[in-house]
Structure 1
Amino acid sequence: MSARLLLLFTGILCLQTATAQENQYQYLSGTDKDHTVTWDFYCSGGQRKGQWTTIAVPSNWEQQGFGSYNYGHDKVKTDEYGLYRYRFTAPENWRERRVDIVFEGVMTDAEVKINGKLAGPVHQGGFYRFRYDISKLLHNGSNLLEVKVNKMSANAGVNNAERNGDFWVLGGIYRPVFLEVKPLVHIDRVAIDATAKGQFTVHAYTTALSGEYTISAQVQTMAGKAVKEAVAVPGNNTNAYTITQSVDHPATWSAEAPNRYQAVIEIKKGNQTIHRITQPFGFRTIEIRPHDGIYVNDVKVIFKGVNRHSAWPETGRTLSKAISIQDVNLMKDMNMNAVRMSHYPPDVHFLDVCDSLGLFVLDELTGWQAAYDTIVGRKLVKELVERDVNHPSVIAWDNGNEGGFNRTLDGDYAKYDPQKRPVLHPWERYNGVDTKHYPDFNYLVNASLYDQDIYLPTEFMHGLYDGGMGAGLADFWQRMLLHPRGAGGFLWAFADEGLVRTDKNGLMDTDGNHAPDGILGPHREKEGSFYTIREIWSPVHITLSAITTSFNGLVPVENRYDYTSLAQCRFGWQLLRFPSAGRKEKTDTLATGTINPPDLAPHTKGFLSLQLPAGWQEADALQVTAWDHHGREIITRSWPLQSPADVVRQFSAPVGKMNVVSGNDTLAVDNGKGVYYFSRTSGLLLQILTPKGKISLSGGPVLAGIPQQLKEFRSGADSSGFFVWARYEGNGFLQVKWTFQPGVPVKLDYSYSFKGEAAFSGITFRYPEEKVTGLSWQGDGPYRVWKNRLHGNLFGSWYKAYNNTVTGESWVYPEFKGYHANVYQATFHTTEQPVTFYTGNAGTFLQVFRPQAPKGASNNNTHPAFPEGDIGFLSAIAPIGTKFQNAAQMGPESQNNLMLNYTPVKGTVWIDLP
């Protein structure tokens, strides 16, 4: 043998020796939705049935154009099956190895054959990792894998728990498939218990080890630096070993500081390493303290959580780590610290990301209002816990959902979990925790006053369409914080579960009102509630409502972190100047500065001290931003520094002349910029004409929602200019005065009064919606608001193009139509001419047309009342409810508006033309 060949042969032997110590993985499928492998495929029913062809794996076959679609609520479901075939190669040296084939998830019953022989019993349960030892079934060289997948299970309990749930029913090998190759003497799995005080215990399950073997464990940093010397125990012909050691002052894991370590577990024979695995973990302790709260590392935690389905529109439940990273970052951006897996275990990479970025996780066994039978359920609990036991992010197990509890399984979780994490029953009282779903505000108040159980609603503020979620959350959250045994809660839900239907030309389908209930759209489009939640759940809680002339630079702040001092955060301010009305230029930054972070411990209050430059009062707005110790923006708050009156003082002096023409029923007033036509019969504006053409503003002002009759109409001149005056009476009154001066915006003063309850109040006009192309405004934005969802927007200068979005049924956000808060000025861009309005009152709401009702709505809870007009200037607006509650049940902010006497409400609007 030549020296060169000898060197090559020696290198191969060394490589085989080295790799034999670690598990080897060979993917038979792709790794995610973006990296797939083509397998042969046959589908028995639905689209493209009855023919052998190919399919991308992993995937749900519906999203590849096969089979039929069903939602879980469908009474009759299709029962097609799929046949998969794939050839792979096994090298000769695998004869001296243990080879498992591992399926991360198959919907729903999977029969697996290798070279025509069954690998093991049919696996039932679509959301779980399972494996078969196929070592003795392999041939040297080419091998044939065959999998028969039944979309519906032969087990009624599996169908009841999984296939009849409130989510899409899909089929296929939708998560990766791989071969796991390891030595004949090996470690099967480990389960770690690492407490916040540094007690480290690893339970290792192996092939039986004789006395010539040892098994050891060493705690390392994630970079591989030893924290302690390895602790070894000798083999004793068993297959379960417990190894313990103590680590001094470990950096603990929490959602705020996700510190991780790794354990290296080795089997040795003498000095030779036979097998080694490396397992990340975190030092962390979970406790439910009865009649008190839930503690993580001896700290009482308030969970700010959301429920998440594993779904992507084009690929169904076949996801990727990139989506997991995106989703966790979106949750962290909303200042969430927790997520509930609804209603099944997620991809393992999602838990990996929760571990590394920091989210507390409720991991859930499937069971939507119906449970697995005990035989199958026991197998699936084992698969669930053995896969996920070492994730520090997992802090509890959910044994089903909303009545889908097989109570016989409650004790099974602890068999595989040395940490003995709590077991919950989402929707009911269990284990000292009240997880009631969709409580109304009165239930919450009563629970906080009288209940002794820990309060943790695992679903609340149902986000169907644009309802719930952020709307009403401020009231709910404030009351939750007052609950002496409150532990937070989990919003429903993270994202609309929409599927792109391959049988309907790419239609995005949310199954009516069953699945459009997210804070985000199917592709993670942000609804307005995203920013409301972000502000309400900010751990840097800023309570300053307005900046007045007495502002001394001190901004009240509360630290709502559980573990972190505000000294670890970073703060900054900006002074802003906005473009003039109707312009789309960017906002100018006049000055910036940093703020020394206050050394405030968790759950304490203090101040941010802003050192602003001289003349800061001349800016249009002040913004303050906080970043956490990881550099993530926590919150930005903004305040106007000018009043609406300051804006209109910038109008130029009158110039030119007036002209008034009076007809039988029409009064025309020309101020040099436009001719305003009024009806003497109704007192209302009819239209505006300018040298450039018509502006179709008409039909106003009228008192929104309160019928009135014209009692008096007159016009003339006074010290302020030419006026048009009208008074209306009915339930209360409306009085208006138009004032015209040459060459300047027209002024409209109004006052009104009524007695009683109303969804909204103010004045409105008519304008053809089809003529509007966009809106630019100065005020809170860029999202619309409801009476019970005013948080989250910033005061600034905004523009958005026209859209007819119905939240949750189309996904161009922000929605164009709706209520807009604290508007100083607004320009409607039209196919005629732009028309600009200035308001004279801080806090004025602008009504922009009327959103359409969702087609799938079964009630009016999520379709609040709007005035009949198209453009309105309002002092009060309507709240919005949830899928299950009307707005009145959702707290103080969610009540209708009430005027107890006839004290007039006064306002002013200016109309400016180009």
Structure 2
Amino acid sequence: MEMKPTIKTKLFKVLALACSLQLIAFSAANAQSTEIQYLSGTGSDKTVNWQFFCTAGRNSGKWTTIAVPSNWEQQGFGKYNYGHDKDSVRGKEQGLYKYNFNVPANWQGKTIKITFEGSMTDTEVKINGKSAGATHQGSFYSFSYDITRLLNFGKKNLLEVTVSKHSANESVNWAERHGDYWIFGGIYRPVFLQALPVEHVEQVAVDGKATGAFTAKVKVAAVAQADEVSAQLFTMDGKKVGEAFSSKIKSGDTVATLQTSVASPALWTPEFPNRYKVQFTLLAKGKPVHTLQEKFGFRTIDVRERDGIYLNGIKIKFKGVCRHSFWPTTARAMNETRSLEDVLMMKDMNMNAVRMSHYPPDAHFLNTCDSLGLMVLDELCGWHKAYDTQVGSKLAQEMIVHDVNHPSIVIWDNGNEGGSNAELDHWFDELDIQHRPLIHPWQVFRQFDTQHYINYDYGNETHLHGHQIVFPTEFLHGLYDGGLGAGLEDYWELMWHHPRSAGGFLWVFADEGVARKDKNDSIDNDGNHAPDGIVGPFHEKEGSYYTIKEVWAPVHFELKDITPAFNGQLNVENRYFFTNLNQCRFTYKLASLQNGSKDSVVGTVNVPNITPGTSGTITCNLPANWQQYSALYVTAYDVTGHEIYTWSWPIKLPAAVAKNIIKLEGNAAVNVSEKDSLIIATAGDVTISFNKRTGLLQTVQNGKGVLPLSNGPLLCEGETGFVKWNTRKEGNNQIIAAEFQKKSLCQLLEWTIFPSGWVKMQVKYFPKEYETSLVGINFSFPESIVKSVQWMGNGPYRVWKNRMKGGTLNIWNKDYNNTATGEGKLIYPEFKGYFSNLYWMKLNTTGQPLTVVCTNEDVFLRLFTPKFSDPAFNTAPVFPGGDLSFMHGISPIGTKSQKAENMGPMGRKHMFYDYGKDPMYAKDITLFFDFSGKD
């Protein structure tokens, strides 16, 4: 039976149990436990000041203090560099650290180790003036020295550390410091002492299979009197699981192998991250000598050639993102809270996996993935170039030994994007007791094709047309507002249905913009190198966040229009791998969204047995009067109670909503006159003029002054073929109708002026070409006077042709901003762009507002032209002329590495037949404008 911890329980476990040590000390009766003494703080939020001297750059040449752990650039020292910088301009400063510490007198006779969880880059350690051991090279790995012989017990001791930002080993520099990311210096992860009995357990590697088989390799040190290693399994709340089991050892032994089996264990999966504890005890003639504890999960990963990746016998697909260990103000120095926030955001986007890029993360991040359920690809560093075999062997061993017991780690990466040294592969095969799969990212290796940024339809015998398991460790390279959510639906539907696709990983989780201490904490993205994220540097959510959340939702709804015949039933597909949808909870909400009404009703949804990979029908228990509401919302919650997503469907279509807004009746007489090149219509104090030569709206004025909408409707592409105006009366209303050339793009343009001061415009037109980029009509309106917008439609984020999901039908309000996504001051949602499913909008200005009501379905509102960074690669889509547009077809957006048309059908141009300009096939837009000036 699966355990179902609540989200609160999970968070408590993460905060209470996460620890930066790989082996967590555990006290047992009559046994010596590992004692820990931190010399630094435990994270970027809890630091300790050490003495510090920087040899070059800012604040160099003098002894002062620095917070540890930290990167010294973010403490005001040294020089900033991005990985692409030329060697001649790189900061190669050193940091000299000193710290005085006491060692308890009762530690005499124990083995004392000093551990550095991470230091950039070459690190020399001295205790009381004597070397602790060889200089460590490599920035992202935990390393230790036995310093027993160097200590003064019960007295003060001096720790001296020299950190060279630039390594003496060029392969380390190429693997770590020439990557597409910021490079830093300093002791950025915790430093601590461990006191162990002379005879002790040095390290443990465990393997809990989905079958319940459990094996542990226990490495012991200095065994003389000890003759046995025993173990006991526990649930996470401390209940014994089975009986104790053990293995005999003898003097001089270094490894003991322990085995047992558990009947029907609760398995670890991303959906049910069940874990256990195992307590190991080193004994001498039955007396405990040393005891420690490890957490683990029962689960099995296996790869089936030309098939896929299986977790516990279930074929899975990875919905993942690449993640840097990074925060703008603290750089690579992180803490448990940051890890928790990152994992929660990924889970909120319905991801089930994360790839470490380009290096192994903090232990607390892996602990959080273990606890909350994210599959991890753990990665040895190397971007385009790899470590040499000598230093790479040491670093690979350090990574594997440090991380091997985390159930979240399901795959190892040897290098990043071409930085793989094949001579290191054997370490993963030999040292990992679980024999996880090994990949070379960006390469075709073993059973996998992990190539990056492959176009949607690649080629014969390659990628999804080939025979290997397709597993791109990077796809859809985000830049500004491009990629990530854009194109994802096309890619994911292809991946989901293709039997050899194992899913993939988006690049990247967050913009890596650093808060420059030398520039008043302004965010520096190094131009277009770092703003690649789904979220901003401080985790500001971009539009793609919500697109991903919907596309990757494990509940997939069949397309459905809500009509009067709707009986509350919705067809859904269960895209979970281990969860029955009846284990989730669904609710619905009906909302009015009319005339300022907040009227709504919430109800229950019946969910039958819908097993993973199958489809079924859920039923909303609707009231009899459900049709009086404007919109239906359905929300799904996972087994922890967390919202999966909220979907929306329109009940009332735009024409029905428009009837409750527009006011056509009035007492004013409507008249038409001509003056020079203008046709002028009046209705009371409303005056509207149209150009007789161009067929365009010229001016609008009422009792409050000018309403500066003009110069429309212009076709987004092509000429209207305008000939002249014709006028006629229909009751109290005045019609001003355009006449067009034969077979022209425009088939109809009529303005109807009502006595109320409202005006109707109807346009019927054809796109310019069969394949076309923009389809719609434009007007001019001065952006400089705009303060905010209120609208009913899908929002609050803008859309692109290939990023339509993630919005919700509602009434939205947004203040004006000029945000260029991923650049400068980030204000989200962005004000400008395309917005889908327009019902109505009210543009608030420094003067009077402009209200426009649409009666057609599927019309896009275009609000001005967004600011795009230069160069923007493929992320500056084409926009129509003018300022405001009402459209049937908008542009897609590309990625940093791909044009939109190569990212799937949604990224290609619109295709419309015109059937010889047969009017019945013309596109139709009907808008009502409130020109009355009345509130």
Distance, in Å, in 1 between the alignment partners of 2:124 and 2:294 is 31
Deviation at 1:208, TM superposition (A): 3.5
The answer to whether the Cα contact below 8 Å between 1:369 and 1:402 also exists between their aligned partners in 2 is yes
Instruction: Give yes or no for the alignment of 1:493 onto 2:508.
Output: yes
Per-residue CA distance 1:370-425 (angstroms, 9 max, x = gap): 00000000000010000100000000110002211110000111332111111100
Deviation at 1:566, TM superposition (A): 0.8
Deviation at 1:808, TM superposition (A): 1.1
Paired residue for 1:718?
730
* 1:772 aligned residue (786, 792, 806): 786
Q: Normalising by the residue count of structure 1, what TM-score does the alignment of the two structures yield?
A: 0.95
Deviation at 1:551, TM superposition (A): 1.4
Structure 2 SS opposite 1:441? coil
Instruction: Give yes or no for the alignment of 1:541 onto 2:553.
Output: no
The answer to whether the Cα contact below 8 Å between 2:746 and 2:763 also exists between their aligned partners in 1 is no
Paired residue for 1:700?
712
Structure 2 SS opposite 1:30? coil
Instruction: Name the amino acid aligned to 1:164.
Output: H
Deviation at 1:291, TM superposition (A): 0.8
Distance, in Å, in 2 between the alignment partners of 1:647 and 1:671 is 25
Mark the runs of 5 or more structure 1 residues left unpaired by the alignment.
Answer: 1-14
The answer to whether the Cα contact below 8 Å between 1:838 and 1:911 also exists between their aligned partners in 2 is yes
Q: Share of identical aligned residues, percent?
A: 48
1:595-634 equivalences in 2 (<5 Å):
595-634=605-644
The answer to whether the Cα contact below 8 Å between 1:448 and 1:480 also exists between their aligned partners in 2 is no
Mark the runs of 5 or more structure 2 residues left unpaired by the alignment.
Answer: 1-25
The answer to whether the Cα contact below 8 Å between 2:199 and 2:224 also exists between their aligned partners in 1 is no
The answer to whether the Cα contact below 8 Å between 2:200 and 2:223 also exists between their aligned partners in 1 is no
1:163-178 equivalences in 2 (<5 Å):
163-178=177-192
1:171-570 equivalences in 2 (<5 Å):
171-210=185-224, 212-237=226-251, 238-443=253-458, 450-570=465-585
Instruction: Name the amino acid aligned to 1:474.
Output: E
Distance, in Å, in 1 between the alignment partners of 2:684 and 2:348 is 51
Structure 2 SS opposite 1:855? coil
Per-residue CA distance 1:821-840 (angstroms, 9 max, x = gap): 00100110111111111111
Instruction: Give yes or no for the alignment of 1:594 onto 2:604.
Output: yes
Structure 1 SS opposite 2:50? strand
Count of equivalent residues: 893
* 1:154 aligned residue (168, 173, 176): 168
Instruction: Give yes or no for the alignment of 1:883 onto 2:893.
Output: no
Paired residue for 2:925?
907
Paired residue for 1:9?
none
Paired residue for 2:38?
27
- Change in 2 beyond 3 A, CA 1:378/1:837: same
Distance, in Å, in 1 between the alignment partners of 2:327 and 2:549 is 23
Distance, in Å, in 2 between the alignment partners of 1:418 and 1:203 is 8
Report the aligned-residue RMSD. 1.8
Deviation at 1:727, TM superposition (A): 4.1
Deviation at 1:609, TM superposition (A): 1.0
Per-residue CA distance 1:107-148 (angstroms, 9 max, x = gap): 000011111111110000000001111111111311111111
The answer to whether the Cα contact below 8 Å between 1:569 and 1:626 also exists between their aligned partners in 2 is yes
Instruction: Name the amino acid aligned to 1:115.
Output: N
Structure 2 SS opposite 1:206? strand
Deviation at 1:593, TM superposition (A): 0.8
Distance, in Å, in 2 between the alignment partners of 1:245 and 1:459 is 39
Deviation at 1:673, TM superposition (A): 6.3
- Change in 2 beyond 3 A, CA 1:197/1:639: same
Deviation at 1:731, TM superposition (A): 6.4
Instruction: Name the amino acid aligned to 1:596.
Output: N
Per-residue CA distance 1:305-342 (angstroms, 9 max, x = gap): 11101110011011111111111111111111001001
Paired residue for 2:61?
50
Deviation at 1:272, TM superposition (A): 3.2
Structure 1 SS opposite 2:243? coil
Deviation at 1:561, TM superposition (A): 0.7
Paired residue for 1:895?
908
The answer to whether the Cα contact below 8 Å between 1:732 and 1:755 also exists between their aligned partners in 2 is no
Structure 1 SS opposite 2:519? coil
- Change in 2 beyond 3 A, CA 1:777/1:303: same
Instruction: Name the amino acid aligned to 1:693.
Output: G
Deviation at 1:192, TM superposition (A): 0.2
Distance, in Å, in 2 between the alignment partners of 1:573 and 1:490 is 32
Deviation at 1:611, TM superposition (A): 1.4
- Change in 2 beyond 3 A, CA 1:711/1:705: same
Q: Normalising by the residue count of structure 2, what TM-score does the alignment of the two structures yield?
A: 0.93
Paired residue for 1:7?
none
Q: Once structures 1 and 2 are overlaid, which stretch shifts more, 819-828 or 33-42?
A: 33-42
The answer to whether the Cα contact below 8 Å between 2:318 and 2:505 also exists between their aligned partners in 1 is yes
* 1:790 aligned residue (779, 800, 804): 804
Structure 2 SS opposite 1:305? strand
The answer to whether the Cα contact below 8 Å between 1:211 and 1:234 also exists between their aligned partners in 2 is no
Structure 1 SS opposite 2:394? helix
- Change in 2 beyond 3 A, CA 1:308/1:673: farther
The answer to whether the Cα contact below 8 Å between 1:211 and 1:235 also exists between their aligned partners in 2 is no
- Change in 2 beyond 3 A, CA 1:446/1:637: farther
Per-residue CA distance 1:12-44 (angstroms, 9 max, x = gap): xxx999797221111111111111111111111
Instruction: Name the amino acid aligned to 1:404.
Output: G
Structure 1 SS opposite 2:73? helix
Instruction: Name the amino acid aligned to 1:247.
Output: V
Per-residue CA distance 1:448-482 (angstroms, 9 max, x = gap): 76421111111101111111111111111111122
Instruction: Name the amino acid aligned to 1:621.
Output: A
Instruction: Name the amino acid aligned to 1:316.
Output: A
Distance, in Å, in 2 between the alignment partners of 1:445 and 1:472 is 22
Structure 2 SS opposite 1:468? coil
Q: Once structures 1 and 2 are overlaid, which stretch shifts more, 100-109 or 450-459?
A: 450-459
Distance, in Å, in 1 between the alignment partners of 2:175 and 2:513 is 21
Structure 2 SS opposite 1:340? strand
The answer to whether the Cα contact below 8 Å between 1:20 and 1:183 also exists between their aligned partners in 2 is no
- Change in 2 beyond 3 A, CA 1:189/1:839: same
Deviation at 1:180, TM superposition (A): 1.3
Paired residue for 1:128?
141
Instruction: Name the amino acid aligned to 2:360.
Output: P
Instruction: Give yes or no for the alignment of 1:63 onto 2:74.
Output: yes
Instruction: Give yes or no for the alignment of 1:143 onto 2:157.
Output: yes
Instruction: Give yes or no for the alignment of 1:760 onto 2:771.
Output: no
Structure 1 SS opposite 2:457? helix
Paired residue for 2:678?
666
Deviation at 1:175, TM superposition (A): 0.8
Per-residue CA distance 1:879-905 (angstroms, 9 max, x = gap): 111111111111111111123323421
Instruction: Name the amino acid aligned to 2:772.
Output: A
Instruction: Name the amino acid aligned to 1:230.
Output: A
1:71-150 equivalences in 2 (<5 Å):
71-76=82-87, 77-140=90-153, 141-150=155-164
Deviation at 1:659, TM superposition (A): 4.6
The answer to whether the Cα contact below 8 Å between 1:445 and 1:479 also exists between their aligned partners in 2 is no
Structure 1 SS opposite 2:426? coil
Distance, in Å, in 1 between the alignment partners of 2:258 and 2:684 is 90
* 1:749 aligned residue (757, 762, 765): 762
Distance, in Å, in 1 between the alignment partners of 2:28 and 2:157 is 25
Structure 2 SS opposite 1:705? coil
Instruction: Name the amino acid aligned to 1:63.
Output: Q
* 2:859 aligned residue (844, 849, 873): 844
* 1:578 aligned residue (586, 593, 599): 593
Deviation at 1:709, TM superposition (A): 5.1
